[in-house]
A = this chain, B = another copy of it.
Amino acid sequence: MKKRGEIMQAEVLAILRRRGTPMSAYEVLGQLRDSHPQLAPPTIYRALAALTERGGVHRLESLNAFIACKSDSHKDASILSICDDCGEVEEFVSPDLLKALSSIAGQSGFAPTRHVIEVHGQCASCGSAQDQA
């Protein structure tokens, strides 16, 4: 019974990609209920967990939401900038910063396994829009 799960993941990913901005698990669920009226939360959460692990989806810890990974093919921890006005998210990768971070946390013998780096603020377009207001 492997296929079903993979189909699920593909559908979830498609929905997230279509949206482009962060979606909660329940928003995804809502969309999917159009085609699969029976769907329950654990199914979605399992699909999202698998996708997150695979690197196809980012979980935004500070929003409890998910977003399709755009510049896919980096399974390293990303730096995510989140516009609090429009919801737009950008991904950045910086091995240097990650290294610096690991070394700071490692000062006392801590062994990092997962980095959460999220920056909230205002994206370029929302910032300039506000200037006029």
The verdict on A75 contacting chain B, using a C-beta distance below 8 Å, is: no
Residues of B within 8 A of A104 (CB): 79, 92, 94, 97
Residues of B within 8 A of A119 (CB): 101-102, 105, 110, 112, 114-116
Residue of B with least CB distance to A128: B109
For the complex, give the distance between the alpha carbons of A90 and B100 in Å.
16
The verdict on A1 contacting chain B, using a C-beta distance below 8 Å, is: no
Q: How many copies does the complex hold?
A: 2
The verdict on A118 contacting chain B, using a C-beta distance below 8 Å, is: yes
The verdict on A127 contacting chain B, using a C-beta distance below 8 Å, is: yes
Residues of B within 8 A of A112 (CB): 81, 119-121
Residue of B with least CB distance to A124: B109
The number of chain A residues with a CB under 8 A from chain B is 36
Residues of B within 8 A of A62 (CB): 61, 116
The verdict on A71 contacting chain B, using a C-beta distance below 8 Å, is: no
> In whole Å, how far is A126's beta carbon from the nearest beta carbon of chain B?
9
Given A105-B119, A108-B123, A114-B119, 5 other A-B residues pairs in contact with their CB atoms under 8 A = A81-B105, A100-B100, A105-B121, A110-B123, A116-B116
Nearest 3 A/B pairs, CB to CB: A109-B124, A112-B121, A81-B105
